[in-house]
Structure 1
Amino acid sequence: MLSSESRDQSQTGRQEAWVKLKANPVPDVLVIGGGVNGVGLLRDLSLNGVSATLIDSGDFCAGASSASSRMAHGGLRYLENREFDLVRESARERNMLLHDASHLVKPLEVVVPVRHWVKGLPGTALRFFGFSRSPGPLSFVALKSGLLAYERFGAIRRALPHHKVVLSGRNFPPGLPKAVRSVISYYDGQITGPEALVFEMLEAASRIEGVTAVNHIRWQYMQDGRITVTDPLSGEAAELRPRVIINAAGSAIDRVNSQLGIDATRVRGVKGAHLVLRHPQLHGRMGGRSFYFDDGRGRMVVCMPVQDVTLIGTTEVETDDPQDRQVVDDEVNYLLSSLNHLFDDITLTREHIVAVTSGIRPLQAGNGSATQAARDHALFEDRAGSTPVISLVGGKWTTFRSFAEMAANSVLDLLGRQRTASTADRAYPGAGALDVVQLAQDSGLTTQRTKELYSRYGTVAREVAAFCGEQEDAQVTDAPGYSRREIIWLTRNRMTLNLEDMILRRTNIVMTGRLSTCTLDNIADIMAETLGHDDLWAQTQSQGCAADPRILWNGK
């Protein structure tokens, strides 16, 4: 029988991280913000011998990082805005993820139904040359030409097949409207576990001496380079005096800068929402593919299968509130209406919604429409007193590694150090093959169970399986594939402090489409027992999550 990794069971991973934070009061770098950009930077710094502490006032990966379309893509639509450097970078980084994080990033066929051969081409040309910002219909000629360039940009470490064209209607996917003249399919990547990849990076970085990360922390800048951080759980406080501060707070970058005494507008918040739909016929029609289609007004929408549900998005609504998570009726109606134009024989209603996602993209401040706003990333350096502050503005999931590399290079320059390691072409901690049959034998679990764990954790499944196999286990209510012991492992090891942390960012239970209030009650009870809370805590946590449309759309 395997043994799980030894640790002091009287302490959770977060308690250990807090102790480590207090032991390093003068880190080289303090990173504020635990989204994918901040965590990617922590990983890069840790590999280059830089002592670093990451803090987040909320949970890791709780903002836009956990509300994306779950795609690793080269940014085909950015070609129309002449963002060639971004497309080149995105295609390269997408290929790296497919090679180096193959346990969580998979090839995805993207199907594009095209209604016009050349209509809309003049508009595309006008947008390309910057003479128009008005959307227009997609033409076969424009898409075919764009894909030739797109695949050229993705030639480095090529990981995907070339695009294909279908001109005969009898070979189209069933149910497409008669107005569709051709179907073009190309390939990008699907991130099956974005949050899991963030935690892999966090855990690997935190094993290095002088590097730690702590969530749910309060902090205050003291004007003389000191930052006081407080653990709201214990009431303990510690003082940090970093040499460099990184502002990776996403849509809250301007507010964080304000707390540091910096008056600057760097960010333009654009909220994006997705609907999580449970509709077996639609899910089956996807056939493991994504559909990328015109909403009828010249704007493209993406629809894709995620586990047992279908995800459709996204909207673009400007907001200046970093806490704005509301998905309004107009957004819901727009996405349902758009999807109902995809297939003639499938109709979606609000009854098919099981949850929503909502996140605010921290785009660079600027004018013009949100749809046409630049998606590139940039660094901005300011000063909090004499302490350098670097703000990480913009970016997207696919390019987090290269953005982190850019930021790390700036940090190394400020510290007067040389880069000694690169994250380029470096495998992620959970990557690699795993014999799930042997793991089943070693852990005492079934092969089906070890397959499930491997699909969620990659090679980290060895540790999870060992823990689950040490004692008698039981399935979580209405959550096929999840068990009591797995929830305990996630609570102890991945700094899970509340039920929302667990449901939205430690598991993919929402994407089964089967989550119920009974599931919430069961998991809240397991967490309460693990963390030493009472029944009232569990009840309050469960009720709070049941009222959150990101978890249960209708509260049932």
Structure 2
Amino acid sequence: MGNSVSLNRLQKIKQLRQNPDIQVLIVGAGVNGIGLFRELALQGIYVALIDEGDFGTDSPIAISHLVHGDVYYRENGGFGSAETAVLERQRLLQNAPHVVIPMPTTVPIFRWVTGRFHVPIKLPKEALKTGRRGLFFTRLGLMLQDKMLGSKVDSFKHRFAFRKKSLKQFPRLNPNILGTVSYYNATIIAPERLCTDLLWDGCEASPQSVPLNYFGQTALDGDSVTVTDFITGETVQLRPQLVINTKDCPPQTDNIHRQQGLHLVLANSELRQVISNHSFFFEYE
């Protein structure tokens, strides 16, 4: 990190007063807001990021810190999303190894063919009602993932083990399994550190960028946005070309497509020992 970057709060506020015609105003400095701030700053865009609290304040309490790049997207037919997720995950592992580490993930397999894992082949919905993935489609999808990763990361290729070997590694698994498929996701061990690094990257790339915490949007009047310093109570009038709200979803969410999953994180030392520091992809009927 260079010494030329200044995050002096008073200087940044003065800069906004002197040049309020910013290109992009980002409201909400969680990991999404900070990540967007960095990307725009890298492109030389005059961007301001504000948040009513600390930078990345909610990131450390997120339930699993999991970095996706797996069967979750492909099972819903989202091949494009899957490819993007895999590549972004690999970039995080390469660029931030101090805070992002590989997370081995295991899926117990009970059937040969059935299951919702239907990419790239689209099966009739009637054939996909079961929640359990069959071995054929699970491995097919993971083979596609391996191809995305390329030959440089053989250590991240998926592995299949039949029942005997699987139960030797995980003796508490259901003995009725055919076997297990294991692959790698990633986990963020210090999300607040990652947020700070991303923020600093943006500031280094574009010293004109303005990150301010304990600052909030308090009024909107046409093209003018009023932001308030929650420490001093002073206000600043901004004229951004674009306002992006990463903090709260407005009622008009026609272009927001929901994806859902459930991550369970349990404080259980015995369970941790049994699963050998793996994460497990469990399924339901």
Q: Do the aligned partners of 2:112 and 2:135 also contact (CA within 8 Å) in 1?
A: yes
Gaps of 5+ in 2: none
Q: Do the aligned partners of 2:218 and 2:227 also contact (CA within 8 Å) in 1?
A: yes
- Letter aligned with residue 282 of structure 1: L
Q: Do the aligned partners of 2:107 and 2:180 also contact (CA within 8 Å) in 1?
A: yes
1:114 to 109, 112, 120: 109
2-structure distance, mates of 1:58, 1:223: 24
- Which residue does 1:224 correspond to in 2? 222
- Which residue does 1:496 correspond to in 2? none
Q: Do the aligned partners of 1:76 and 1:146 also contact (CA within 8 Å) in 2?
A: yes
For normalisation by structure 1, the TM-score amounts to 0.44
2-structure distance, mates of 1:151, 1:43: 29
For normalisation by structure 2, the TM-score amounts to 0.81
Judged with a 3 Å threshold, the aligned counterparts in structure 2 of structure 1 residues 187 and 125 are, in CA distance, closer, same or farther, namely closer
- Which residue does 1:150 correspond to in 2? 145
- Which residue does 1:74 correspond to in 2? 69
Question: Is 1:56 aligned with 2:45?
Answer: no
2-structure distance, mates of 1:248, 1:155: 36
Alignment of 1:171-190 (within 5 A): 171-190=168-187
2-structure distance, mates of 1:274, 1:43: 28
Question: Is 1:254 aligned with 2:250?
Answer: yes
SS of equivalent to 2:131: coil
Q: Do the aligned partners of 1:37 and 1:248 also contact (CA within 8 Å) in 2?
A: no
Q: Do the aligned partners of 1:254 and 1:267 also contact (CA within 8 Å) in 2?
A: no
Q: Percent same amino acid among aligned pairs?
A: 27
Deviation at 1:219, TM superposition (A): 1.7
1-structure distance, mates of 2:269, 2:186: 23
Judged with a 3 Å threshold, the aligned counterparts in structure 2 of structure 1 residues 79 and 222 are, in CA distance, closer, same or farther, namely closer
Deviation sequence 1:503-540 (CA, Å, 0-9, x none)? xxxxxxxxxxxxxxxxxxxxxxxxxxxxxxxxxxxxxx
Deviation at 1:280, TM superposition (A): 1.5
- Letter aligned with residue 233 of structure 1: I
Deviation at 1:71, TM superposition (A): 2.3
Deviation at 1:160, TM superposition (A): 4.0
- Which residue does 2:32 correspond to in 1? 37
Q: Do the aligned partners of 1:99 and 1:159 also contact (CA within 8 Å) in 2?
A: no
2-structure distance, mates of 1:141, 1:264: 37
Deviation at 1:135, TM superposition (A): 4.2
2-structure distance, mates of 1:167, 1:187: 18
1:287 to 264, 268, 276: 276
1-structure distance, mates of 2:122, 2:9: 49
Judged with a 3 Å threshold, the aligned counterparts in structure 2 of structure 1 residues 41 and 22 are, in CA distance, closer, same or farther, namely same
- Letter aligned with residue 237 of structure 2: E
Deviation at 1:197, TM superposition (A): 0.8
Deviation at 1:223, TM superposition (A): 2.5
SS of equivalent to 1:228: strand
- Letter aligned with residue 25 of structure 2: L
- Which residue does 1:476 correspond to in 2? none
Deviation at 1:117, TM superposition (A): 2.8
Judged with a 3 Å threshold, the aligned counterparts in structure 2 of structure 1 residues 20 and 286 are, in CA distance, closer, same or farther, namely farther
Q: Do the aligned partners of 2:27 and 2:216 also contact (CA within 8 Å) in 1?
A: no
SS of equivalent to 2:48: strand
- Letter aligned with residue 227 of structure 2: V
Q: Do the aligned partners of 1:66 and 1:194 also contact (CA within 8 Å) in 2?
A: no
1:240 to 216, 238, 241: 238
- Letter aligned with residue 173 of structure 1: F
SS of equivalent to 1:209: coil
- Which residue does 1:201 correspond to in 2? 198
Deviation sequence 1:131-178 (CA, Å, 0-9, x none)? 357442222222222221221122286374322222142533121122
2-structure distance, mates of 1:58, 1:130: 48
- Letter aligned with residue 173 of structure 2: L
